[in-house]
Amino acid sequence: MKAKIHVYLKPGVLDPQGAAVAGALHTMGYEEVTAARQGKLIELDLSGEDADAAKSRVDEMCQKLLANPVIESYSIEMA
């Protein structure tokens, strides 16, 4: 079983990397880009057969280590 966790900054949190990406794209001539946000993708390979239990464990991992709940949100995709 595989879990994909998408971690991204909450709205309103400053994103200097996203601003740098947007600025670089403007410099390269991509004027249609109005903003960019930087995030991260974490992929986990998991053992076990119970998808609901696995998703619950991954959520626990996100809350404890993989995401900072003060400034980041995350979504979990199980496959």
Q: Alpha-carbon distance 48 to 43, whole Å?
A: 16
Q: Alpha-carbon distance 48 to 13, whole Å?
A: 36
Q: Are 4 and 66 in contact (CB under 8 A)?
A: no
Per-residue pLDDT tens for 9-62?
Answer: 999 999 999 999 999 999 999 999 999 999 999 999 999 999 999 999 999 999
Domain ranges of the chain: 2-78
The topology (CATH level 3) of 2-78 is: Mth169; Chain: A , (3.30.1280)
Q: Pairing between strand 39-45 and 2-9?
A: antiparallel
* pLDDT band with cut points at 50, 70 and 90 for residue 65: very high
Its pTM stands at 0.86
pLDDT for the residue numbered 27: 97
State the DSSP code for 67: S
pLDDT for the residue numbered 21: 98
pLDDT for the residue numbered 5: 98
Q: Are 5 and 41 in contact (CB under 8 A)?
A: yes
Q: Alpha-carbon distance 4 to 58, whole Å?
A: 9
